Every structure is written in C-alpha cells, then in structure tokens.
C-alpha cells in the first residue's frame, strides 16, 4: 500500500482538468493515469498537472488503464452518453469510482449502473457536489435543524450563461447529454430530495430552446437543448419545490439562489457569494401586524457568509468523502 491514493482520470476535458486541479490540492492524492481518445485533451491535462505530470501513464481506453494497473481510484469525467461503456469494465474491478453527474444519459442505463454499483463492495458515488458546497451545506443544515419550522416550499433559481463549447460539440444534443434537465438540473433535483427529505410524487415542467444555439448547425443538425424552464415538483410529505432555470442570463450577480419557506421563517442562500439570510417577518407574526411596509424588527436579522474550502480525503477509501459539471474527453 502506498502513502497516496493513486487516481486515474477518465476524460481529460475541461471538467477532467478541474478534477485534476482539485486533486493537486490534496497531499494524499496523486494522479497516475489519464484516459482520453483525444490527444489535445491529454496534452491540456498534462499541462494542468505541471511538474506532477512526470510518470503519469496515458491511455486511449479504459481497458488499457485497467490492464496497466497503478491506480486505486478513478474519476469518470467522460461525456454523459459514454458513461455506461466506461463503467462496464470498471465494475469488473475493485477500484473506487467517482462518476460525474449525470450518472447516465438514459433511465435504462442509470438503473443498470445503480444496480451494478449496489452489487460491488468497493466505493461508488456520483458527483453531486452542490450539496457539499459550504453555503449550500450550511443552508441544508439550518433547514434540517428546524430554523424555519416545518418546510412547506422550496424554490431554486439558476440564472446563468449558456452551455460551453465542448469537444466534438457533443453537449449540443439531448441524445448525448440526457437533456438540459438531466445534464444541468440533476444537481437541483438532488438538492430538492435531500432538503425536503421525501420522494417526488408528481412533476410538471415547461421549457423550450428560445435563445441559445438557434443559429448553430452541426453537420446540418440543429441543437435541441432546452435553455429555460419552470419545474414544479410535489413531494410525498406535502412539501413542494420549484426550479426556475435560465441559460441565457449571463452576468447575473448570483448564479444560484435557494429559498426555503417554513411555517416559522424563510431561509435564503445565494451562490457564489455565500450569503445566508433568515427572515422572520410579516406572516410569521400576526396578520393584523402586517401593514404592508416591513418594520425594522421584521427585517432579516441573521446573516453570515460561508467560505469555500478544499475537501479532504483519507486512506483507505472505505466510504465517500464526508464533504466533498464539462468539456468532455
């Protein structure tokens, strides 16, 4: 056993390189293998590794990496539609696996992966990192600790820039990504289930591609990825949630805003600023005290900023990190 966890990174595109930068922050981690069929992505990843690139094995297939050995854990950061093919040989090993979100691009493949993961003893987890961002984690803890009373409504707003250009433009088509509501919004549906603590019983979604990529053509094909939507989800415990998505809201001060309203208070978190605000006001007093304008005593009275910090990992990998999206290959 070595002193460091030896990582293989499968997919050396933009997101793969982000994972590499994070691994370089961890003294317990060492990147020992890269897998990508595109030489340009491999070259960029080696540049990201810098001095740490010495001795890193380069492969064009997952099977070649497995045969060569020298890794303890792998990060699957390849395009969504490749995840099943990448996972098939990995599931035959005892390597610890982190598979980037979304798990797969189809329901059938996702169910297959979940079943295979449950059958193995080695660690497998999916990269749903939004729940571990310090501002979001503090927000979730406050809701679960009863700061707002009984949670009734949860709203999430993401107003952001369009999807970035990726190798081979694979992310311009829903058949490759699973669709915007899978590719991007799986983070928020994960947060809904985690925060509310129940399963969805009904979902309504209205969305379209109205602004982004309308003039783009790829081998004569027109992109089909949704760039805005509203989604309402009802949960088994009576709570409901809403997602407000715009992928053409570049320059928004806060990319994500999450608000939870309970029977005692309202809690908000803003990302990336990390501001967390709890509001005891109007409805939570008595109806006859609500005159329209908010009195000083009704203004937000708790505010704090959560700061980002690198996660830590330890050997052996017996469980997922306690706190712990992408140009493809």
pLDDT digit string, tens, across residues 273-311: 888 888 764 444 444 444 444 334 444 444 443 444 444
Provide the pLDDT for residue 319.
45
Q: Which residues of the chain have pLDDT under 70?
A: 1-2, 280-329
Reference 34, options 55, 59, 17, 53; nearest CA is 59
At 276 the pLDDT is 84
Question: What pLDDT does 278 receive?
Answer: 80
Q: How far apart are CA 314 and CA 201, in angstroms?
A: 38
Residue 105 phi/psi, 5-degree rounding, is -95, -10
- In sequence order, the 6+-apart residues with CB closer than 8 A to the CB of 34 are 8, 9, 12, 42, 45, 46, 56, 57, 58, 59
Domains of the chain plus CATH, in order, are 5-129 (3.40.50.720), 134-305 (3.30.360.10)
The whole-number pLDDT of residue 52 equals: 96
How many residues would you count in the chain? Answer: 329
| Per-residue confidence (pLDDT) for residue 308, from 0 to 100 | 41
> Does the global pTM surpass 0.85?
no
The rounded distance, in Å, linking the Cα atoms of 111 and 144 is 29
- Please tell me the predicted confidence (pLDDT) of residue 300: 42
Can you give the pLDDT at residue 280? 62
């Amino acid at each position: 056993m070595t002193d460091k966890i030896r990582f293989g990174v499968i997919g050396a595109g933009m997101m793969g390189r982000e994972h590499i930068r994070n691994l370089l922050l961890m003294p317990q981690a060492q990147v020992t293998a890269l897998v990508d069929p595109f030489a340009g992505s491999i070259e960029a990843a080696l540049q990201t590794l810098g001095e740490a690139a010495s001795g890193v094995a380069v492969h064009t297939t997952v099977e070649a990496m497995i045969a060569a050995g020298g890794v303890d854990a792998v990060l699957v950061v390849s395009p969504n539609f490749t995840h099943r093919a990448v996972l098939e040989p990995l599931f035959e090993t005892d390597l610890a696996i982190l598979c980037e979100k979304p798990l797969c691009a189809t329901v059938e493949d996702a169910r297959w992966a979940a079943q295979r993961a449950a059958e193995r003893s080695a660690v497998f987890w999916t990269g749903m990192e939004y729940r571990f961002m310090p501002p979001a984690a503090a927000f979730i803890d406050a809701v679960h600790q009863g700061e707002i009373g009984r949670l009734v409504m949860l709203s999430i707003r993401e107003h952001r820039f369009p999807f970035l250009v990726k190798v081979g433009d694979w992310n311009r088509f829903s058949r490759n990504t699973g669709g915007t509501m899978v590719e991007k919004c799986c983070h928020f549906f994960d947060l809904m289930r985690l925060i509310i603590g129940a399963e969805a019983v009904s979902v309504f979604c209205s969305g379209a591609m109205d602004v982004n990529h309308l003039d783009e053509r790829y081998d004569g094909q027109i992109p089909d990825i949704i760039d805005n939507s509203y989604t309402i989800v009802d949960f088994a415990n009576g709570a409901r949630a809403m997602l407000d998505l715009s992928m053409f809201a570049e320059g928004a001060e806060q990319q994500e805003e999450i608000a939870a309203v309970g029977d005692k208070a309202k809690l908000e978190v803003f990302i990336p600023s990390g501001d967390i605000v709890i509001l005891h006001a109007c409805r939570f007093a008595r109806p006859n005290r609500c005159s329209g304008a908010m009195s000083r005593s009704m203004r937000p009275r708790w505010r704090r900023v959560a700061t980002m910090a690198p996660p830590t990992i330890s050997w052996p990998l017996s469980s997922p990190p306690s706190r712990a999206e992408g140009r493809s290959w």
